[in-house]
Amino acid sequence: FFRALERIGIRLNEPQIQAVRAVDGPVLINAGAGSGKTTVLTCRTAYLLLVKRVPPQNIVLVTFTRHAARQMKERLATIPGVTLAMVKQMITGTFHSLARTIYFHKLDVPPRIMSEKQKEFLIEQITKELATGEQYEPETLLALLAYLKNNLLLVGGTWAVEEVEGLKDDARRVLERYEAYKRDNHLIDYEDLITGCIETLRAHPNYLTALRRRMAYIMVDEYQDTNIAQYEMIRMLAKQSNLCVVGDPDQAIYGFRGAEPSIILRFPDEYSDCTRITLDINYRSPAGVVGLGNEIIRHNRRRFEKQLKVLPTGTGLPIYFAARSVEKEAEQVLMLIEKLVSSGEYEYSDIAVLYRTNSTARTLYEKLLLSNIPFTTYRDDPTFYELSTIRPVLDFMRLSLDPYNETALEGILPCLYISKARYMKEIQVIAIQRGVSYLEALRYLEALPLFQRRRLNEQVDWLKSIAKLNPLQAVREVRSEAGGGYDKFLGSEQNGAITYHKELLRDDLYELEEAVKPFATVADFLAYVDTVIARKETRRQQSESGLGLTLQTIHAAKGLEYPVVILLGAIDGVLPHSIAVDPDEKPDFWLHKKNGERTEEAMEEERRLMYVAVTRAKRELYISSPRYFRGKPATLSPFLLEAFRAASKAVVTYVTDEGGNKQ
C-alpha cells in the first residue's frame, strides 16, 4: 500500500505511516500547519478501504467546510485502487451535513431551513409584536441565539438557566417566541441541525445503536475548531475505539463562533488509552515561511510548545513591503500579481490574496473588478456598498438627490423608526394623491404621534440639504443626524451588551468614509457605486469558471494552500483587529463572560490568524501593509514586529516603497 502511494508521489514519513496504520482508535493527531494532517486522513481512509477492506459506507469523514470535503474526495479518488463508487458510498461532509442526514432521517417531512433574511424578518416582526421596551438588532439576537445553541445552552426549548443569567427578559421573550414560531411552522435554522441531531440521538437509543454500528470508523479534520454541540454529537456517535481526530490548536480561529480549542486538548483525558501522534515536518512551505510561522506563534502564552521542522528544499523568504496608502498598497499588489503571472511561472489561480476582514480589501476588490484580471471570491459576496450596514447610508444620499426614489425611501424607513410593513402603502398613496415625492409624503403621515411627525418634518428638511454637501460631509451627517444618528441606530445600547458586533459595524462606516473621499460630489460617488455593482454582476458570470486569482478572508483559507500567498493590510488594528486591542472598547462579547477576559484570549486568536495566513504559502509569501489607514498613520502588526525582530537570520527581505523609506 505505501509503495503504491509513493508511486503517486506521496512518500509518508514514520509518524505519518504510524497514524495511517493506527486504525483502531482512539487516535489524536495534534500537529502544526502543513505537516500532513489532512494528507494522513486521506491515506488512512484509503488504507481502511484497500488494506483493511472496510466497506465504504462504514467510514465517516468530517471536514470543516464543504470545499474541504470535496477536495478530500478528489484526492482520495487519485489513489490507485480507490474507486469513485467507494468515494460516493462513504459518509463525507461537514458536521452540519452529517447532522442533517441523521436528524432528517427520523422525520416524515424535513423542516425547511430559514435563510438569514427570513430569520431577521421574523425577529423583527416578533420584536414589534411584543412591543419590547428595548429595540434589538435582529442580527444581534440571532448571534446570541447561535451562541446559545453552539454551546448547548439551549436545546429543544430548554434553557440552561444559570448560564444565561443576565440575559435581558425582553431578549429572552423574543427568542422564545421565535423558537416557538419555528416549531409550529416546521422551520429550523442552521444551528438547529446539530442540536436537532443530538436531540434525535438522545430520544432514539435504538437508532443510535444502529448508527454506531454503521459508523465503524469516524475521522474528523480541523478538530481544534469544534464547538461544544459538535463535540457532543461526535461523542455520542463514536464508540471508544473508532475515533480519529486531527487538528492544530495553534490554528483555532473560530472562537467567535463558539469553537472551543480546549476540546482537542482534553481528548487524551477523555480517551486515556488513545494513541497520540505528532507530525513535525512541514511539507508545504519553504524554510523562511515556516520559520516566520514558528516565530509568530511562539509568542502565544496559552499553548503547547511545538516547533515545525522543514525539509531542506526551497529558498523562498517571505517578502515584506509597505505602501504609503491603502490605494498604493492595492496598486502594488496588482503590479506584483501581473509580474508573477507574466514571468510565466504562475497562473492567476496559483495566487491567493488573504485579509483579516472584507472591508480591508475593499480598495483592491474594486480595482480588480474594474480590471480584466480573473478572480474569485465567495459567489454571493455582496460588494461593500450592498452590506446591510452601508446600504441605508447610501439610500439617504440617493433619496436626497432624488426624492422620488422609492427603493431608497424603503431602505431608510427603519432608520427613522417607521415600520415599512405599516406605512409604505400609505406613503405611496399620499405621494399619488397629493402629487408629491416619496420624501415629501413623509410629512403627511397622520397616523404617527405628533412628536414623531414633527421630528419627521425636520428630517425631511435636513435630508434635502445633504445632496449639496461633499460626500464625506454627507456620510458624516447621516452618521450623526439621520433618525437621531445612524451610528446610534446601528449599535446603541439597544444592542444590549454585545459591543463586539457594534464595533464591527462601525468598522464598515469608517471604511465608507474612505470610499467617498476621492469624489467631489454625492452624485459622482453614487454613480461610481452603481458601476461597481453592475460590474460585479458581469464579473460574477465570468468567475464561475474558478480559474482566477483567489480573494478571501484568512478564516476562509483555513486548511488550504496556494503557491503564492499575499497577505494584505498587515497592520496594527486590522491584524490584530482593533476589537482585540482597544483597551477602552473592552468587548463584553457575551453576557456571561467577564470584561477583559476576552481581550487576551482574543489577542491570541488574532495571532493564530496571522499564523494560519502565513502558513498557507507553498512557494512564495508576500506581506504588505499601508503606512496610512483610514486617515491615521498605521504601524506594522505587532505579531510581525515580534517575529521580525527575533528572526535576525534574514528571514525576511525588506522591500522599500517608492518613498524610499525602510521599515
Annotated binding site for ATP: 31-38
Among 26, 34, 255, 587, binds ligand ATP (CB under 6 A): 34
Query: Distances from the Cα of 305 to the Cαs of 32, 98, 309, 651, in angstroms?
Result: 10, 34, 13, 21
Q: How far is the CB of 84 from Mg ion (least distance, A)?
A: 23
Q: How far is the CB of 649 from Mg ion (least distance, A)?
A: 28
Element holding 626 (H helix, E strand): strand 617-626
Give the length of the chain: 663
SS3 440: helix
Which positions from 499 through 538 interact with ligand ATP, judged by CB under 6 A? none
- Angle at the Cα of 42 from the Cα atoms of 38 and 44, rounded to 5 degrees: 110
The pattern of x and - marking residues 237 through 266 that bind ligand ATP according to CB under 6 A reads -----------x--x---------------
Q: Is 36 in the site for Mg ion (CB under 5 A)?
A: no
Q: Is 360 in the site for Mg ion (CB under 5 A)?
A: no
Q: Residue 27 forms beta bridges with which residues? A: 244, 275
* Residue at 600: amino acid letter: E
Beta-carbon contacts of 504 under 8 Å, excluding residues fewer than 6 positions away, are 357, 579
Q: How far is the CB of 30 from Mg ion (least distance, A)?
A: 12
Following CA atoms 76, 82, 87, 90 in sequence, which dihedral angle do they give, to the nearest 10 degrees? Answer: -100
SS3 632: strand
Q: Is 35 in the site for ligand ATP (CB under 6 A)?
A: yes
Cα(557)–Cα(33) distance, rounded to whole angstroms?
13
Closer residue to ligand ATP in complex, CB, 532/614: 614
Q: How far is the CB of 65 from Mg ion (least distance, A)?
A: 11
Among 15, 36, 392, 576, binds ligand ATP (CB under 6 A): 36
Query: Distances from the Cα of 381 to the Cαs of 84, 106, 267, 407, 505, in angstroms?
Result: 32, 35, 37, 21, 17
Position of minimal CB gap to ligand ATP: 36
| Cβ proximity of 143 and 495 under 8 Å | no
| Cβ proximity of 81 and 50 under 8 Å | yes
The one segment of 173-181, 441-449, 493-501, 559-567 that binds Mg ion by CB under 5 A? 559-567
Q: Is 543 in the site for Mg ion (CB under 5 A)?
A: no
Beta-carbon contacts of 26 under 8 Å, excluding residues fewer than 6 positions away, are 240, 241, 242, 243, 244, 245, 267, 271, 273, 274, 275
Size of the site for ligand ATP (CB under 6 A): 19
Cα(621)–Cα(320) distance, rounded to whole angstroms?
9
Q: Is 559 in the site for ligand ATP (CB under 6 A)?
A: yes
Cα(525)–Cα(512) distance, rounded to whole angstroms?
11
Q: How far is the CB of 39 from ligand ATP (least distance, A)?
A: 3
Cα(649)–Cα(317) distance, rounded to whole angstroms?
11
Q: How far is the CB of 72 from Mg ion (least distance, A)?
A: 10
Question: Which of Mg ion, ligand ATP, none is residue 394 near (CB under 5 to 8 Å by kind)?
Answer: none
Q: How far is the CB of 5 from ligand ATP (least distance, A)?
A: 9
Q: How far is the CB of 42 from ligand ATP (least distance, A)?
A: 8
The one segment of 5-13, 193-201, 288-296, 573-581 that binds ligand ATP by CB under 6 A? 5-13
Q: Is 11 in the site for ligand ATP (CB under 6 A)?
A: yes
Closer residue to ligand ATP in complex, CB, 37/100: 37
Q: Is 39 in the site for ligand ATP (CB under 6 A)?
A: yes
The pattern of x and - marking residues 12 through 31 that bind ligand ATP according to CB under 6 A reads xx--x--------------x
Q: Is 483 in the site for Mg ion (CB under 5 A)?
A: no
Nine-digit cell string for 159: 434553557
- Residue among 61, 67, 32, 34 at smallest CA distance from 47: 61
| Cβ proximity of 334 and 368 under 8 Å | yes
Closer residue to ligand ATP in complex, CB, 486/562: 562
Q: How far is the CB of 68 from Mg ion (least distance, A)?
A: 8
Q: How far is the CB of 656 from Mg ion (least distance, A)?
A: 36
SS3 215: coil
The one segment of 38-46, 80-88, 166-174, 314-322 that binds Mg ion by CB under 5 A? 38-46
Residue located via cell numbers 427603493: 407
Position of minimal CB gap to Mg ion: 38
Cα(1)–Cα(590) distance, rounded to whole angstroms?
50
Among 38, 226, 376, 637, binds Mg ion (CB under 5 A): 38
Q: Residue 628 forms beta bridges with which residues? A: 633
| Cβ proximity of 81 and 4 under 8 Å | yes
The one segment of 11-19, 336-344, 439-447, 524-532 that binds ligand ATP by CB under 6 A? 11-19
Question: Which of ligand ATP, Mg ion, none is residue 284 near (CB under 5 to 8 Å by kind)?
Answer: ligand ATP
Q: Is 37 in the site for ligand ATP (CB under 6 A)?
A: yes
Task: Give 144-196 as a DSSP string.
Answer: HHHHHHHTTSEETTEE-TTTTTT--HHHHHHHHHHHHHHHHTTEE-TTHHHHH
Size of the site for Mg ion (CB under 5 A): 3
Under the rule (CB under 5 A), what is the footprint of Mg ion? 37-38, 559
The residue ranges that bind ligand ATP (CB under 6 A) are: 10-13, 16, 31, 33-39, 248, 251, 283-284, 559, 561
